[in-house]
Amino acid sequence: MKNNLAVKIGSLILKNPVLVASGTFGYASEFEDFMDISALGAVVTKTVTLVPRKGNVPPRTCETPAGMLNSIGLENPGIEVFVQEKILLAGKYNVPIIVSIASEGGFEEFTALTKRLDSVIEAAGIELNISCPNVKSRGLVAQDPRSAYEAVKAARKGTGKTLIVKLSPNVTDITEIACAVQKAGADAVSLINTLYGMSIDTVTRKSRLGNIIGGLSGPAIKPVALKMVYDVSRSIKIPVIGMGGIISSSDAVEFLVAGATAVSVGTGNFINPSVSLEIITGIERYLHEHAISSIRDLTGSLKI
């Protein structure tokens, strides 16, 4: 039996439901020596802003039990260099490229960014990063439903391309934010971004991160991510891309059963650069073993 792994996210048809998460896969070319990038469902690029960012002071990462903390601070060359150089390299792999964007200023920056990307052929879709926890600000856009709504409305003004909104777990009720961005015109949501965290060196009594606070990712956050994907998928009608601690095909299947249409692999890429391909193979094997012909029949199939 031939299994159908194709999924639909907005106007995008992906050949399989496995993406690689923003900030964990560079601009794709960094991984070409380790895997067949064209086998992926899609690549989500490192987040780009309107102007270049140097990022946070080092150290920027540290290992934690069952995960890692990062405080990169959205280091990137800015949208013009990205369009003229980075995405051209990423576009050669015959895989949909979803561009992650973030704003440092007002919502009008989202409009400027999406408008700039709207005519870029290599950009198959856009992910709106309103949930990065390691950029110093008064709070995350994703922590307030009204702000999240306005950000998506602004981004939608500049493009007709598939618009995915990345949500933060650092909220009281993530479903409220998901409903707001759906109403504003999002085609899909991705969740979860990292949880707030920190680590202290008891010898020096200093933070192990230059920014003190960072984002926790990896297997440690999977139960939280899984629960939020379950909640959100039952609250909205647009697709959910699940992420948070996925390092095996079994992890991925859990997210699909919980309600995700697709999954995104993040920290796992640092542990095993080819893990995403192994997950694709594992999902296909799971469908075959359980006589499931289409991946769509797995989504939201949790038995209550």
pLDDT the model gives residue 293: 94
Question: Residue 55 phi/psi, 5° resolution?
Answer: 85, -175
The set of catalytic residues is: 132
What does DSSP say about strands 18-20 and 195-197: parallel, antiparallel, or unpaired?
A: unpaired
Token digits of residue 253: 């299947």
Query: What is residue 136's predicted lDDT score, i.e. its pLDDT?
Result: 55
Residue-level pLDDT at 134: 54
Mean pLDDT across 133-145: 75
pLDDT of 137 reads: 55
Q: How confident is the model at residue 140 (pLDDT cuts 50, 70, 90)?
A: confident
For residue 199, which of 182, 181, 211 has the smallest C-alpha distance?
211
Domains of the chain by residue range: 7-55+73-196+216-297
Beta bridge partners of 200: 207
| Residue 301 pLDDT | 97
Amino acid at 172: T
The tally of CA atoms less than 13 A away on the side-chain side of residue 216 is 17
Contacts of 82 (CB under 8 A, 6+ apart): 45, 48, 76, 99
> Mean pLDDT across the chain, nearest whole number?
95
Q: Which two tokens stand for residue 202?
A: 């008891």
d(CA 47, CA 23): 7
Tell me the mean pLDDT in the region 80-87: 96
User: pLDDT band at 69, cuts 50/70/90?
Assistant: very high
For residues 37 and 40, what is the distance between their CA atoms, to the nearest angstrom? 6
pLDDT tens digits, 156-175: 999 999 999 999 999 999 99
What is the share, in percent, of the chain residues with pLDDT greater than 70? 97
Domain 7-55+73-196+216-297: assigned CATH number = 3.20.20.70
Return all residues near 185 (Cβ < 8 A) that are at least 6 apart: 152, 153, 156, 163
Task: Quote the DSSP letter at residue 219.
Answer: G
The answer to whether residue 133 scores a pLDDT higher than 90 is no
- State pLDDT tens for residues 30-45: 999 999 999 999 999 9
